[in-house]
Structure 1
Amino acid sequence: LMMKVASKKGISLYKPLLLKQDIGRDTMAAVEVHKYELPGIVVNVNPRRHYLNRQSAAHLIGYLGEISPVELKSGKYPGCRQGDLIGKFGAEKAYESFMRGKRGGKQVEVNAVGQVIKVISTVPSQPGYNFYLTIDQEVQEKTEALLEGVIGAAVAMDPFNGQIIAMASNPSFDQNTFVGGMSHDQWESFVSDPLKPLTNRAVQGEYPPGSTYKIVTAIAGLEEGIVDSQTTLEPCKGFFKFGNREYGCWKESGHGKLTVSDAITESCDVFFYQIGLAVGVDKLKEYAAILGLGSQTQVDLDRETGGLIPTAAWKKRRFGVEWQEGETLSLSIGQGFNLVTPIQMAVLISAVGNGGTKYKPEIFKKIESAEGRVLKESKPQVLGKIDASPETLELVRKGLWGVVNSEKGTARGSRIHGVEFSGKTGTAEVVSRKEDETDEKENVPDHLKPHAWFIAYAPSENPEIAVAVVVEHGEHGSGSAAPIAKEMIKTYLRTNRYQE
């Protein structure tokens, strides 16, 4: 009978066929008790990945899932067969080939009804390699705790080698949910969740950069000769008149005369409007690209997005209309069509802090054999250099130092006792505000409130950590994003260098 059924179903009698998995202890015991009445039925006990810290670093580590028929046929997973678990997301997917071992097996002799008579030969299985991440667990857990209750992401990296110290995205998910498989309804509940817990906002989330983009505009203005260390443009009166419209500054009473470093410190919109107009949209794009914006960082995580830095030609292709100079004003302060990811901003602020070198973000530290032999170690990979003079970068860093340490700095409330660090706040508008709209914040729905940014490196001299934090609809970088970055920095420096 078994042979007839197998023949009709196209099933080989000499290859194991999975009947059911995850049967539980009671069922397993029942099968074992009656195994002589169930010829050919064998219970296999296999190890399973278990994530000890549940949601910790879930988006970075990723998860396992059963290989699909399409993946089996792709040829990318040699040695795998139906029912095997493979990396589906994150580091689990990126380094699947390193961590997967080699299957073992037994050649056995069976009787007519499939019962094993004797073992002819055994091929032992080979374990995969041990994979070590760059993550600092204490900083990672602190970052995740800081993001609880908000939607957003945070990235911390070493400015001098690109190693990721922490990467968190909230909301998150429990990786163990995926290991045992899930029903269609369970999967649908994940993918249809409006909060998108499966999205790694650190590498996939695209946001207007807000005033953090003023770093780009400042470098463009300095390198193009629009301003120098002493230049003071038209004084800020709280607005800038262009054409028949007034473009406001966040400080309604105005900032007065400022140098470029002061303008960064106080985040004066009017100063950067003027630089943006003088430089132009296409030149701004060039400098944004030099700083790593508008393209992927090449981090070893799938589904990374590259953001968007527009040009006049892009708008013509996309919308069929010409670029308007008024749009350049918005662009110069990080609004308009600009879109960046948190990991891009981490690379940018790292490069500014370290003197101009952009490093590829690295999540793997080393790979070891099962016996503990080091097979591969991470080495810094340079993506490029910021094409700007040392003097330009020094003026920008002076302004970033003032953001935190000056009495007029926009993040002065986030200072750390005993440590000077540098940064830039940002408030990114979600929707354009019409000319006749008021700015009464209490009337703005939560989903229309601006996103909050803060990017920083610490200490200001010879930085050891760079961070980028975005809080969706957090309104102001100084109030919601900067405190998170401050605590991340404190945790890292306390653990690695300083004591309370």
Structure 2
Amino acid sequence: MIEFSKNSDRELIKQRLVGASICILLVFAILFLRLVYLQIIKGEEYRLLSEKNAVRLKSIKSSRGLIFDRNNRLLVDNRPSFNLKIVLEDAGDVEKTVKKLAELIRIPLQELMDTIDRAGKGSFYKAVTLKDDISREQLAIVESHKFDLPGIHIDIEPTRHYIHKKTAAHLLGYLGQVNSTELRSGKYPDIKTGDSIGRYGIEKSFEKYLQGKRGGRQIEVDANGRTIKILKTVEPIAGLDLNLTLDLDLQKTAEKLFDNRDGAVVAIDPNNGDILVMASNPSFDQNDFIGGISTKNWETLISNPGKPMTNKAIQAEYPPASTYKIITSFAALEEKHIDSHSTVYCPGFLKYGNRRYRCWNKHGHGEMNVIKALTQSCDVFFYQAGDKAGVDTLAQYAKGCGLGKKTGIMLDNERKGLVPTSAWKKKRYNEAWQGGETLSIAIGQGFNLVTPLQMAVFMAAVGNGGTLYRPIIVKTIEDSHGSIIKKIDPEITGSLPASSETLDIVRKGLLNVVQGDRGTARGIRLTGIEIAGKTGTAQVFSIKKGEKIDPEKLRYNLRDHAWFIAYAPAEKPVIAVSVIIEHGEHGSSSAAPVAGALIEQYIQTLSQKETVME
């Protein structure tokens, strides 16, 4: 019995040893076969992938140039933006990874997948931006789940920051993502997919200066695309800084003075063309465009009847109304149809053919010469002066004053307005010019169209003695060390078609508009500052003959626009202003106070600076 038990134990041990040996052989066989598969069958493929995974070239976005006002106050800078990206090569099952990401940070899966689809197959090894400027909460979630999100990483990049929300928005502009067509055009050699470029205003016009040069970094990564070691870095070069001619304090005052009304204000230095103020209302917040504006915000902007996306200073065209009487004065005086002593009696209307053309003062102004007519804005005087000159002569002088063409400001989409002629009407409507139409043109109504910027440039020339300057918005372009790369000097574009004698006569009338006892803008008189200006009321709705309508009961959008253009001090001006308040009705009560407040603030500021320097 004992011998039998010993034999059984030996047999059992032998069987176990054989089983263990077989298992060990099987394991080694599997390992050997796997090694053969990896080294021989898939060896070349994995060798290439390993090399690609080991070292990556990562582009480093440059900081965009800063923008300052004329007093070196910062208007636009850059802030850090946390941008969510994916490298498809490292993401494994892309849809599974992105689905997990979408659930974590609460962004629609389809939105993320659409972004990847737009990037195309060529982006398999490149970082694709899924979402710019994610919140800090989203950042924390992604970082805490980074081991569950292969191929997903966060890049910290500089993004635009508009410090003074809505202030000078139309002038400064905003950014938008570059599209595939623009990338293929070759215009943006240093721009990559997902980058932003200037879309509007100064950001667009000075793109080549503001956009810096990318840097790069050579990094070693693991299989999931996570950085192991930085091998080499080439630092990016920041964009150039812009020093504007804009006065921030004056700009803010102009925008505040709109008081929820629509319109535009332009202030300019008559001695060099520097733009001190360019305001358009309603405005918008450029920060809303960073990372892509939401559909809701965009629809709100484009559905606003006030047209906040239009820079009304250069893109909106209005009848110049009675401000045009300055040009009618030039034409009539220069062509010797009138002189400073010529008079016309105004009974409150002018009978022309079988129609009566009314004066704004239905009781009449009495005996008028050109100085009194400008002071009191007598329509009857200028009906007759314009009729003597004729439409084509009026057009000649208007064009000589810079109307009917672009001012040349370095901003896109400037409109040129309209200076009508008899030939223009024949071509446009196939109709002959009518004498009554000349009367409307002579007082700035009819087909006439101008921009607020054109009128500011024109009024600046009247104030400085006749020199037309190209308006300037950027004074100098500098690098990050303060070295001037480019300086933009004043540029004379022409001179007014008026002799010094004619200018003296007209300037007396404009001075009396504010300083005279019967001037239409006498209500904005300032102590110690003489202002010369001209009011205007641009007709929006034409009242039929014999029809009586209470202006207070007229719908808002049918009410007249209010104009005022001015320069000051009258003898040696340092500022010229153009103001239009849409549907403001009367230039004297609506637009003139805005100009008066800006003139007072600017001249007082200059006086304070001079006192400090002394």
Q: Give the TM-score normalised by the residue count of structure 1.
A: 0.95
- Matches of 1:113 and 1:408, distance apart in 2: 82
Contact 1:59 1:168 (C-alpha < 8 Å) held by counterparts: yes
The correspondence of residues 142-153 of structure 1 with structure 2, limited to 5 A, is: 142-153=253-264
- Matches of 1:468 and 1:181, distance apart in 2: 34
- Matches of 2:492 and 2:447, distance apart in 1: 28
Which structure has the bigger radius of gyration?
2
Residue number in structure 1 paired with 2:395: 285
Helix, strand or coil for the counterpart of 2:128?
Answer: coil
Residue number in structure 1 paired with 2:487: 377
Helix, strand or coil for the counterpart of 2:342?
Answer: coil
Residue number in structure 1 paired with 2:9: none
Helix, strand or coil for the counterpart of 1:397?
Answer: helix
Which of the residues 188, 195, 211 maps onto 1:84?
195
Residue number in structure 2 paired with 1:354: 464
Question: Per-residue deviation at 1:229?
Answer: 1.6
Residue number in structure 2 paired with 1:168: 279
Number of aligned residues:
498
Question: Per-residue deviation at 1:371?
Answer: 1.0
The correspondence of residues 258-277 of structure 1 with structure 2, limited to 5 A, is: 258-277=368-387
**Greater Cα shift, 180-189 or 384-393:** 180-189
Contact 1:60 1:91 (C-alpha < 8 Å) held by counterparts: yes
- Matches of 1:131 and 1:252, distance apart in 2: 52
The percent identity for this pair of structures is 53
- Matches of 1:439 and 1:422, distance apart in 2: 33
- Matches of 2:143 and 2:301, distance apart in 1: 37
Contact 1:148 1:170 (C-alpha < 8 Å) held by counterparts: no
Question: Per-residue deviation at 1:17?
Answer: 2.2
Question: Per-residue deviation at 1:498?
Answer: 6.1
The correspondence of residues 101-112 of structure 1 with structure 2, limited to 5 A, is: 101-110=212-221
Residue number in structure 1 paired with 2:210: 99
**Greater Cα shift, 125-134 or 71-80:** 71-80
The correspondence of residues 222-301 of structure 1 with structure 2, limited to 5 A, is: 222-233=333-344, 235-301=345-411
Does 2:308 correspond to 1:194?
no
For structure 1, the 5+ residue unaligned runs are none
Q: What is the letter of the counterpart of residue 158 of structure 1?
A: D
The correspondence of residues 130-149 of structure 1 with structure 2, limited to 5 A, is: 130-149=241-260
**When you count helix as a share of all residues, which structure comes out higher?**
2
Helix, strand or coil for the counterpart of 2:160?
Answer: coil
Q: Give the TM-score normalised by the residue count of structure 2.
A: 0.78
Question: Per-residue deviation at 1:258?
Answer: 1.8
**Greater Cα shift, 209-218 or 186-195:** 186-195
Question: Per-residue deviation at 1:36?
Answer: 4.5
Q: Residues 2 and 465 from structure 1, CA distance in 2 versus in 1: closer, same or farther, beyond 3 angstroms?
A: closer
Contact 1:431 1:448 (C-alpha < 8 Å) held by counterparts: yes
For structure 2, the 5+ residue unaligned runs are 1-87, 95-116
Q: RMSD of aligned C-alpha atoms?
A: 2.0
Question: Per-residue deviation at 1:81?
Answer: 1.4
Contact 2:575 2:599 (C-alpha < 8 Å) held by counterparts: yes
**Greater Cα shift, 205-214 or 172-181:** 172-181
Task: Kindly indicate whether structure 1 or structure 2 has the higher relative contact order, using CA contacts under 8 Å at least 6 residues apart.
Answer: 1
The correspondence of residues 415-430 of structure 1 with structure 2, limited to 5 A, is: 415-430=525-540
- Matches of 2:213 and 2:341, distance apart in 1: 66
- Matches of 1:450 and 1:498, distance apart in 2: 38
Question: Per-residue deviation at 1:473?
Answer: 0.8
Which of the residues 437, 443, 450 maps onto 1:327?
437
Q: What is the letter of the counterpart of residue 104 of structure 1?
A: G
Q: Residues 220 and 131 from structure 1, CA distance in 2 versus in 1: closer, same or farther, beyond 3 angstroms?
A: same
Question: Per-residue deviation at 1:82?
Answer: 1.5
- Matches of 2:225 and 2:510, distance apart in 1: 74
Does 2:478 correspond to 1:368?
yes
Q: Residues 292 and 12 from structure 1, CA distance in 2 versus in 1: closer, same or farther, beyond 3 angstroms?
A: closer
Contact 2:513 2:532 (C-alpha < 8 Å) held by counterparts: yes
Does 2:299 correspond to 1:181?
no
